[in-house]
């Protein structure tokens, strides 16, 4: 590996010119104080884990995760549409006296879409994690946390952890964390509204009103 000697050398990790066994980050113009140990564990700057200066942490995987988050919100809201909600309630009440459960077309489609969204989230989280690692962010929040997305309210756990770790590693704002937190609030609100409407409809239908 050639050690940079001119500003025309592209940015990247190169052998430390001072002779240590670590690699050092060349930003395309000059040497920085970011180092990479021989085992590739982390960059060290002043004893803390830091990413190279001006690291772009908005990866394609991250934008895909936000898009999937928005799609899941729309799917959750669609359950409150009168036709979908009424068919779900009617089916639930009829299933209470049936041995074999049945599913409405909306429930079946929602189940398939939910599976695809979760699969997309896991793949996007992996791609985001790999991109952050390749860009020099040390020990980013692990993509395996995205598997908790099998539970709707836990869908954004990876994004929450990612926002906290990226802010710590890069010294940037933690503001992006409010996007997944806001999602959690919406899911809780939708669940409450659906539960109240469903209970009220069921209560009326069994003749106790």
The pLDDT assigned to 54 comes to 80
Confirm whether pTM is higher than 0.75: no
Q: Count of H helices and E strands in the chain? A: 5, 5
Q: 196 in helix, strand or coil?
A: helix
| pLDDT tens-digit series, residues 36-53 | 665 444 444 444 678 887
HSE-up of residue 10 (Cα within 13 Å, Cβ side)? 2
Indicate if the pLDDT at residue 20 is higher than 90. Answer: no
Indicate if the pLDDT at residue 209 is higher than 50. Answer: no
| pLDDT tens-digit series, residues 44-97 | 444 467 888 788 899 999 999 999 989 988 888 887 777 766 676 666 656 555
What residue segments make up the domains of the chain, in order of their start? 12-49, 60-205
């Amino acid at each position: 590996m050639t050690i940079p000697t001119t500003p025309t050398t592209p940015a990247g990790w190169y052998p430390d010119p001072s002779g240590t066994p670590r690699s050092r980050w060349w930003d395309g113009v000059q040497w920085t104080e970011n180092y990479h140990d021989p085992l590739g564990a982390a960059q060290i700057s002043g004893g803390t884990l830091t990413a190279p200066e001006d690291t772009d942490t908005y990866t394609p995987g991250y934008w895909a995760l936000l898009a999937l988050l928005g799609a899941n919100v729309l799917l959750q809201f669609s359950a409150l549409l009168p036709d979908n909600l009424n068919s779900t309630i009617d089916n639930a009440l009829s299933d209470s006296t049936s041995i074999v459960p049945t599913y409405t077309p909306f429930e079946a489609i929602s189940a398939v879409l939910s599976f695809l969204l979760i699969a997309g989230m896991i793949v996007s989280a992996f791609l985001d994690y790999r991109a952050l690692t390749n860009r020099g962010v040390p020990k980013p929040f692990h993509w395996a946390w995205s598997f908790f997305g099998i539970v709707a309210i836990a869908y954004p756990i990876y994004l929450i952890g990612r926002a906290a770790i990226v802010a710590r590693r890069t010294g940037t704002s933690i503001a992006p964390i409010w996007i997944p937190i806001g999602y959690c609030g919406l899911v809780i609100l939708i669940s409450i509204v659906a539960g109240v409407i469903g209970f009220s409809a069921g209560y009326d239908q069994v003749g106790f009103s």
